[in-house]
Amino acid sequence: MVAFYGTELENRLMLGTSQYPSPAILERAFKTSKASVATVSLRREGRDGAGQPFWDIIQKLGVKILPNTAGCHTVKEAVTTAQMAREVFDTTWIKLEVIGDTDTLQPDIFGLVEAAQLLTEEGFNVFPYCTEDLVVADRLLGAGCEVLMPWGAPIGSGMGLNNEYGLRALRSRFPNVPMVIDAGIGLPSHASRAMELGFDAVLLNTAVAKAGDPVKMALAMSQAVAAGLLSLEAEPMEPRDMASPSTPVIGQAFLS
């Protein structure tokens, strides 16, 4: 199990809820993968009106809800959205996004730290969507965040882990801080690699929702996360520059 803000989760896969072909497929993807967390956008969903069927489905899943501030470009916008999300979804958890660049959807790190400070002072459990920058991470922790969510690559790109060096450095610098790789995961191998690097969970959406078979991909991602964790715990061998025979030659007879 892994714990975030005192809440233990059995499955380390977190899934988004947008872009699925149908609500039924979304529901099957969650149930098949046994994902523990569903991210939800307040801008798209709500408890009343048109959002009611969606909210009914999410409640039936029995997973932890992580509302996000997707689409927010200013501190005021993100904080206001978080406050509304707390009322709508009845949770202090919030995935904090403050977007700084519309092409890459890279977070505005200055606004992110400011918004995180304001929200933690209001009692929110903030999950900040950030880069792998060590200084930014330190500022977010200083602002009261107890979890970090560095990107693997731009949102929806499917490129995987663009900067393994930076992610390894981040994991090494803050070994006791729970961290979730968020954004950019496109293949199960990407998710597995994130876990092998020592991250605590993986959050993804597009790779599952836009797959030819979202249900199968959701299962593949869940199994990849589990496999990556097992690999980390097994302490894999270090890569070598030279070949090393797997069959020992000491004690064997040689014919001349």
Which residues are annotated as catalytic?
A: 95
Strands 7-9 and 2-4: antiparallel
End-to-end CA distance of the chain: 58
Q: How distant is the alpha carbon of residue 228 from its chain centre?
A: 14
One-letter amino acid of 112? L
Residues 140-168 as b or e (16 or more Cβ within 10 Å = b): bbebebebbbbbbbbbbbbebbeeeeebe
Q: Residue 158 — left, alpha, or beta (φ > 0 → left; ψ -120 to 50 → alpha)? A: left
Contact criterion met (CB below 8 Å) for 194 and 173: no
Neighbours of 50 (CB within 10 A): 9
CA dihedral 113, 115, 119, 121 (to 10 degrees): 60
**DSSP calls for 111-161:** HHHHHHHHHHHTT-EEEEEE-S-HHHHHHHHHTT-S-BEE-SSSTT-----
Residue 68: strand, helix, or coil: strand
